[in-house]
């Protein structure tokens, strides 16, 4: 039995909204409603605002299906780890302990839910799919091996620090005092280091003659790709070389 909840769709962070979309949960048709692809979660609800929401970490995969031999309508297919709309779920979309543990149990069991979102406008499938890809990427698995994220400040960057303080990977550039005061201590140290390197490199530019040293500059790409010869063959690790 599928239990639908009353939902309050988010007003912010909505990457895509598709009305006139029917939803089917494990073969059970829920009727026509609206799919809302928001950064925080995925929701579907009918005209009376009853529906279900999905947390991105619970989504195993999503796909565009145009194979009318296996299913007669073109649709967005979503596979969820665990059971959606289970009457054992207590809160609406919020993660309380009971909810988490019941979802984890489902996950361990290998129980899945197959969901099909069938928009009346088939041309919208690509946007729906892309929006889901974007939102999915915003929720990397926290159980992943976190040691890979310890990059020891080798590529520490003011923009990155700013992004981690809640601006979700939107790069910000500061060019004035406001920016300088926004630097953390580490950022300030990095800035001084970079400025020192700049001063050094100006002095060194006459000694280059084909030998390149790696220096850290602000990231930019104007499309002028340099020759592909490896700078220092075999050097994988960051070591003491500044990037």
Partner 1 sequence: MESEAAGAPASGEVVNSIRERTISENSLVVLLQGLQGRVTTVDLRDESTAQGRVLSVDAFMNVRLKDVLYQDRRGRRRQLQDLFITGRNVRYVHIPDDVDMMKTIQNQLDKIHRVRSFGSEGRKEFSKKSN
* Strands 75-81 and 112-119, sheet pairing: antiparallel
Helix, strand, coil percent values for the chain (each to nearest 5): 30, 25, 45
* Strands 5-6 and 75-81, sheet pairing: unpaired
Q: CB 147 → partner 1: shortest distance, Å?
A: 8
For residue 231, state whether it binds partner 1 (rule: CB under 8 A). yes
Q: CB 47 → partner 1: shortest distance, Å?
A: 29
Residues 168-227 that bind partner 1 (CB under 8 A): 169, 201-202, 204-206, 208-221, 225-227
- Choosing from 64, 183, 191, 194, the residue that interacts with partner 1 (CB under 8 A) is 64
- Choosing from 1, 94, 228, 239, the residue that interacts with partner 1 (CB under 8 A) is 228
H/E run at residue 104: helix 97-109
- Choosing from 11, 48, 70, 123, the residue that interacts with partner 1 (CB under 8 A) is 70
Q: CB 174 → partner 1: shortest distance, Å?
A: 16
Q: CB 8 → partner 1: shortest distance, Å?
A: 25
Distances in Å between the alpha carbon of 114 and those of 60, 144, 202, 231?
A: 10, 25, 60, 49
Binding mask 74-113 for partner 1 (x = CB under 8 A): ---x---x----------------------------x-x-
- Does residue 32 contact residue 46 with C-beta atoms inside 8 Å? yes
Distance of CA 136 to the CA centre of its chain: 5
HEC readout, 163-229: HHHHHCCCCCCCCCHHHHHHCCHHHHHHHHHHHHHHHHHHHHHHHCCCCCCCCCCCCCCCCCCCCCC
Q: CB 201 → partner 1: shortest distance, Å?
A: 5
- Choosing from 5, 102, 129, 191, the residue that interacts with partner 1 (CB under 8 A) is 129
- Does residue 117 contact residue 30 with C-beta atoms inside 8 Å? no
Q: CB 230 → partner 1: shortest distance, Å?
A: 6
Of 138 and 189, CB closest to partner 1: 138
Which region, judged by CB under 8 A, interacts with partner 1, from 19-27, 45-53, 70-78, 87-95? 70-78
Residues 132-171 that bind partner 1 (CB under 8 A): 132-134, 136-138, 140-141, 143-145, 148-149, 151, 154-155, 157, 159-160, 163, 169
140 vs 154: CA distance, rounded Å: 22
Of 46 and 238, CB closest to partner 1: 238
């Amino acid at each position: 039995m599928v239990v639908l909840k009353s939902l309050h769709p988010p007003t912010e962070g909505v990457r895509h909204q598709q009305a006139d979309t029917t939803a089917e949960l494990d073969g059970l048709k829920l009727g026509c409603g609206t799919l809302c692809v928001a950064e925080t979660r995925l929701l579907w609800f009918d005209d009376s605002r009853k529906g279900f929401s999905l947390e991105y970490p619970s989504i195993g995969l999503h796909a565009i299906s145009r194979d009318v031999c296996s299913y007669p309508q073109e649709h967005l297919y979503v596979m969820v780890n665990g059971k959606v709309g289970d009457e054992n779920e207590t809160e609406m979309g919020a993660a309380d302990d009971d909810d988490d543990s019941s979802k984890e149990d489902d996950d361990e069991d290998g129980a899945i839910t197959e969901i099909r979102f069938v928009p009346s406008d088939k041309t919208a499938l690509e946007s729906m799919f892309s929006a889901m890809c974007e939102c999915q990427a915003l929720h990397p698995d926290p159980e992943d091996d976190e040691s890979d994220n310890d990059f020891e400040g080798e590529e520490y960057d003011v923009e990155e620090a700013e992004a981690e303080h809640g601006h979700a990977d939107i790069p910000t550039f500061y060019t004035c005092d406001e920016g300088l005061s926004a630097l953390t201590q580490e950022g300030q140290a990095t800035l001084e280091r970079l400025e020192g390197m700049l001063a050094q490199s100006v002095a060194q530019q006459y000694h280059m003659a084909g030998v390149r040293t790696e220096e850290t500059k602000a990231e930019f790409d104007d499309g002028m790709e340099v020759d592909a010869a490896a700078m220092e063959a075999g050097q994988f690790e960051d070591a003491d070389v500044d990037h």
